[in-house]
A and B are shown apart, each in its own frame.
Chain A
């Protein structure tokens, strides 16, 4: 497809379980971002990749959160030992490196931890 694709669109899990969220960016976009959005709030930055490496992971809340982008395209956000407070919409975005570098967002993965 032409846009950023995120799977699953919805994920319900139990407290303590492991979760993986996948993001497939726009072809040719070197930069990839993960954000978390809670209800009624703005997106909160988690991590930014340029190519395969994490250029800025300052937004990851703790060591239960980890993200990879092994081939510089698809990225996976991994959450270990999920907690109820992890419930949110996880947004992925991609951009070019040059110019205004506006972010193109996927539709998000809604995570609910019971």
Chain B
């Protein structure tokens, strides 16, 4: 069974607008962490934001926020005021119990000027 599901293979957003990238996860472990990474065309993986399963508030990091809905097992990434440099592949990932991160298939985001 897929642990991390990203249903949007590709997304377009107009520059300066907000965009939401979807992520749902599957776990029976009460303790887990959710991560979002950005991978530009250059290939490096850049950590964006983290949400712990026991965190009461949604995580925010600058223009990035995580819409964490625990009952729905979703952890959507919201990027506000999109910039051309936000064009990249975005991966949702989860760590449960142990230490490895399991990644989703990713969503390609294209920001239009």
* A contact residues vs B (CB 8 Å cutoff): 31, 33, 35, 40-45, 48, 50, 55-56, 59, 89, 91, 93, 100-105, 107-108
Contacts and interface: CB of A to CB of B under 8 A. Distances in A.
B62 interface: no
Interface string B30-52: 00010100000001110100101
B68 interface: no
Given A43-B45, A89-B43, A105-B44, A31 B99 contact: yes
B95 A56 contact: no
Contacts, number: 56
Interface of B: 4, 33, 35, 43-45, 47, 50, 52, 91, 93, 95, 98-106
B64 to A, nearest CB: 13
B50 to A, nearest CB: 4
Contacts of A93: 45
B43 A48 contact: no
Contact of A103 (B4, B47, B52, B98): B47
A42 B45 contact: no
B30 to A, nearest CB: 17
A43 B91 contact: yes
Interface residues of chain A: helix, strand, loop or mixed (majority): strand
B103 A43 contact: yes
Contacts of A44: 103
A56 B103 contact: no
A59 B112 CA distance: 38
Contact of A56 (B4, B33, B99): B99
Given A101-B95, A102-B35, A107 B100 contact: no
Nearest to B92: A42
Contacts of B103: 35, 42-45
28 contacts: A33-B100, A33-B101, A35-B103, A40-B106, A41-B106, A42-B4, A42-B91, A42-B105, A43-B91, A45-B100, A45-B101, A45-B102, A55-B98, A55-B99, A56-B99, A56-B100, A89-B43, A100-B52, A101-B95, A102-B35, A103-B35, A103-B45, A103-B101, A104-B47, A105-B44, A105-B45, A107-B44, A108-B44
